[in-house]
C-alpha cells in the first residue's frame, strides 16, 4: 500500500465493545508495524439494516506509487452510502477526501458503480481520476452507462468536476479498470 515494495496484510475488523457507529477498524500490518483507522458510519439507519462495511480490495486510484484500500459502506441503498478510499503513509493510515457528491455520505465515492462493480474496479483513464457510472440495461440485458460523474484528485482530495448525462449510452466495458487491482479475499473460518 505505501509503495515501499513490501506487502502489507490489510483487514477490516469489528470491535463489538465499541458503539455501532465506530466499531469497524481498517488495519494494515507489515512486520511489527501496525496502522489502524476507525471507520465512522455517518448514516443513522445503518444499524437497522444489518449491513456491515466490506473491504473490497487494493487499487491504484490516487496519484503516487502506492495502492489505496477501497472499503464499501454497504448501507441503505446504492446512492446513500458510498466507498471510502484510504492510503498508507509511514506514520498513519489516512482517508482520502471526496468533495462534490450529489447525495448523502460525505468523503465517499457514490457506490452505484464507482470504484467497484462486481469483481472489477472502475477508474478514469489515469491515476488521480475517478469516473462514477450510472448503469442501465438494454433490451438484450447488456450493461450500459447512462451518465458519468467525474472526480479529479487535487492534493489529498478528489473533487467532482463534472456530471454528464449521455445522449447515447455506451458500454461499461469501454472504461479502463484501476491498475493494479487486488481483490480482497474473505477470511475462511
Among 29-43, 53-67, 170-184, the least confident range: 170-184
Report the number of secondary-structure helices (H) and strands (E) in the chain.
1, 15
What pLDDT shows up at residue 79?
Answer: 46
Whats the size of the chain, residue-wise? 189
pLDDT per residue as tens digits for the range 92-150:
999 999 887 655 567 888 765 555 444 445 677 788 988 777 666 555 656 666 677 78
Pairing mode of beta strands 143-154, 129-137: antiparallel
CB under 8 Å, gap of 24 or more: what pairs does 86-89 form? 86/26, 86/37, 87/1, 87/2, 87/62, 88/1, 88/2, 88/8, 88/28, 88/35, 89/2
What mean pLDDT comes out for the span 9-27? 88
pLDDT at 167 > cutoff 60: no
Return the SS3 of 189: coil
Among residues 129, 134, 116, which one has the least CA distance to residue 182?
Answer: 116
What pLDDT shows up at residue 59?
Answer: 87
pLDDT at 36 > cutoff 90: yes
What pLDDT shows up at residue 130?
Answer: 84
What pLDDT shows up at residue 118?
Answer: 42
The answer to pTM > 0.75 is yes
Task: Answer yes or no: are the C-beta atoms of 118 and 92 closer than 8 Å.
Answer: no
Reading the block at residue 152, the C-alpha cell is: 479529479
**Residue whose C-alpha cell is 484501476:** 178
pLDDT per residue as tens digits for the range 45-103:
665 666 778 888 888 889 988 899 988 876 655 445 678 889 998 889 999 998 876 55
- Give dist(CA 4, CA 66) in Å, integer: 8
What pLDDT shows up at residue 103?
Answer: 58
**pLDDT: which is higher, 185 or 8:** 8
Amino acid at each position: 500500500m505505501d509503495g515501499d515494495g513490501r506487502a502489507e496484510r490489510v483487514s477490516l475488523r469489528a470491535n463489538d465493545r465499541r458503539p455501532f457507529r465506530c466499531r469497524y477498524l481498517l488495519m494494515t500490518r507489515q512486520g511489527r508495524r501496525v496502522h489502524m483507522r476507525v471507520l465512522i458510519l455517518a448514516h443513522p439507519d445503518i444499524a437497522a439494516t444489518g449491513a456491515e462495511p466490506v473491504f473490497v480490495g487494493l487499487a491504484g486510484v490516487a496519484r503516487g506509487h502506492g495502492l489505496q484500500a477501497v472499503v464499501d459502506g454497504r448501507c441503505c441503498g446504492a446512492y446513500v452510502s458510498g466507498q471510502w478510499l484510504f492510503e498508507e503513509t509511514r506514520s498513519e493510515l489516512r482517508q482520502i477526501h471526496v468533495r462534490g457528491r450529489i447525495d448523502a455520505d460525505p468523503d465517499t465515492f457514490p457506490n452505484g458503480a464507482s470504484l467497484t462493480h462486481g469483481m472489477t474496479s472502475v477508474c478514469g483513464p489515469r491515476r488521480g481520476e475517478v469516473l462514477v457510472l450510472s448503469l442501465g440495461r438494454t433490451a438484450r440485458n447488456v450493461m450500459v452507462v447512462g451518465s458519468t460523474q467525474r472526480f479529479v484528485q487535487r492534493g489529498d482530495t478528489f473533487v467532482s468536476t463534472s456530471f454528464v448525462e449521455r445522449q447515447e449510452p455506451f458500454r461499461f466495458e469501454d472504461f479502463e479498470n484501476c491498475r493494479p487491482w487486488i481483490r480482497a479475499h474473505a477470511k475462511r473460518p
